[in-house]
Chains A and B, each alone.
Chain A
Amino acid sequence: MKTLLQLDDVHTGYGLTEILHGVSLTVNDGEIVTVLGANGAGKSTLLMTICGVNPTREGDILFDGQSIANRPAHEIVRAGISQSPEGRRIFPRLTVRENLEMGAYQSGRLDNLDRMFTFFPILKERQKQLGGTLSGGEQQMLAIARALMACPRLLLLDEPSLGLAPLIVIKIFEIIREINQAGTAILLVEQNANMALHIAHRGYVLETGRIVLADTAPNLVNNDQVKKSYLGA
């Protein structure tokens, strides 16, 4: 299998504090990879660094063999990585449709709109509504759909189930799997480790800015430490 994303000893931080102290991980073509970790471990920071929002202070990030470390964020999107960030960050005063159009800013693939509307029929109904007026679940769907509008080869999802009702969580995870089966690799950050390990192929455990464990998903489910810390068993 081909390596799509590769992080080599990546360091980053905010101001004087370093948050990631040398993270290395890989995502292969067609995979779902999950990153587990406690609050404040640096998971969101990791995703933002991959996307070029945070600077890479040391180390390198390769996407498809090319270094994307410290490239401007929009070039990284053009290269084929898009993110649905923590807290959704819908543009509150753009309509649902405009939010989706912004997702396609680099790809220009407005024809994707119809595909998104079949994935998330509710968004079609709400097209003209302002993003800020959607419910939390609707916003999450919109955030994922917006990220997909870029036709990414790698989709980064930061806590897609945050604050959603269990039924919607299941639906979102079904959709994630569907997207993956259509050929998009996924890097998934989740608090809901159970669900995440259930759909993922492989997983990493991040603790205070370092990778402490890396294995296939089934092995992680059976790992005692993971069971204790993240699966609540």
Chain B
Amino acid sequence: MKRFRPLLWLLWCLIIAAPLVFVGLEYEWGKGLWNATLRTDRLRFLVSDIPAWVGGHWLDVIGVLVFLGAVVGFLKLWQLTAWVQWRGEVETRTRGRVRQAGAMIVVILILTLSCRHLADTQIEWGVMVCTYILLALGLNLIVGMTGLLVLGYAGFVAVGAYTFAVLHQQFGLSLWLAFLPAALVGGLTGFLLGLPSLRLRGDYLAIVTLGFGETVRFLIKNLVGEQSIIISRPARVPSLMSENAAWRWLFPDGLTRLKTELWVAVALVVLSIWLIRNLTHSRIGRAWIAIREDETAAAAMGIPTVRLKLLAFTLSAIWAAVGGVFFVAHNTSANPEMFGFGESVLILSMVVLGGMGSGPGPIVGAIVLYLLPEVLRERFPVLISYRPMIVGGLMVAMMIFRPQGLVGSLRRKIELKEEQP
């Protein structure tokens, strides 16, 4: 009986889902009534199409599994090198830096070499993945490092994006000049929201930030307007196709706008990784971890918990704002609907999937949850439309089976699984 438990649960879930899945609705306007229809196509989909499809595409399925395994394996190996060093002698700062710088150089080399051969769609993926990595890194500062659940992260992204959009609309400000004011406004918003809410218990904070995310959208709609704001060409990342010889030796063909954007995005990510790494390995970072592990004990040890949480919150908001500016410039327009709850959850799930509080976690999360569905879009068109559902299911499964995430540390696992007193 026990062995069939999971199957029984699956059956039960199908039963309770059935009324919403198998009943279709057709409106009869004249009478103002709905007519119910039986959606036999769905039944067929479940019992014959999916098995047939998997049967026909089993190579793809294996390919995806291998890819996932490779990503995780690579990062595990990466962690292992750190661990070996740590066992032998305490990892010195320089050594860590060398290791990291090495990895960056490898990534940049690969990019430079392949840049010429990449198609536009692939570069587009690259830009978006970098944007999501940027955002996930920022969210990881607060969710992963300090252990505070923020559900309205897209709200901060929107603040940054709209600071840029409005400044651009009013004064024709360009992307480069917008980073600073956007970061300022974003940071200030985070600070002001954190001031009252960071004294609250975790779940209250989560719901306050959830409300905040939605409020920002309403405010933008009411104060700025529902129509998109277009970012004009000169304000965006330029293309480097001109005759300027300074960078000709590196990119003999010049860079299209999209390629330049990719480089800017990579630079932003590299800069973030460097900043965040230094931050988390400092006194501040250790204090954050102490707060995450046991806030009461941290406070008792004299760590100014509220001030440090406020700092993490503000920094995370700044990252979001910067990401927002870049995203809008890349996207060429800003619209309130782009920054909904779904976006917040997507970014959160990247952090959760990769590993809350781990350095490379958000990067893996962003790659798996953004790049994988995009790359597979043509072969598995359902993946994109079902992504939010899969993301939701993954978040539950991760918490139950692997709370530390794909590349999280054992320490984090113990922290998350420990019994609460």
B interface, over-half SS: loop
Interface presence of A15 (CB below 8 A):
yes
- Which residues, 114 to 150 on A, are CB-close (under 8 Å) to B? none
- Residue ID in chain B nearest A14 by CB atoms: B419
CA distance A15 to B417 in the complex (A): 11
CA distance A15 to B419 in the complex (A): 7
- Which residues, 364 to 421 on B, are CB-close (under 8 Å) to A? 418-419
Q: How many residues of B contact A (CB 8 A)?
A: 2
CA distance A14 to B419 in the complex (A): 9
CA distance A117 to B419 in the complex (A): 40
CA distance A167 to B7 in the complex (A): 61
CA distance A15 to B418 in the complex (A): 8
CA distance A83 to B418 in the complex (A): 28
CA distance A15 to B421 in the complex (A): 10
Q: How many residues of A contact B (CB 8 A)?
A: 2
CA distance A222 to B320 in the complex (A): 76
B47 to chain A, nearest CB (A): 38
A14 to chain B, nearest CB (A): 8
CA distance A14 to B418 in the complex (A): 11
B262 to chain A, nearest CB (A): 49
B420 to chain A, nearest CB (A): 11
Contact digits for A20-34, partner B, Cβ 8 Å, 1 yes 0 no: 000000000000000
A52 to chain B, nearest CB (A): 17
Which residues of chain B are near A14, meaning CB under 8 Å?
Answer: 419
Which residues of chain A are near B418, meaning CB under 8 Å?
Answer: 15
A219 to chain B, nearest CB (A): 41
Which residues of chain A are near B419, meaning CB under 8 Å?
Answer: 14-15
CA distance A138 to B418 in the complex (A): 38
A170 to chain B, nearest CB (A): 37
CA distance A209 to B287 in the complex (A): 38
CA distance A173 to B115 in the complex (A): 87
A residues engaging B (CB < 8 A)? Answer: 14-15
The 3 closest A-B pairs by CB, nearest first: A15-B419, A15-B418, A14-B419
Residue contacts A-B, CB under 8 angstroms, 3 given: A14-B419, A15-B418, A15-B419
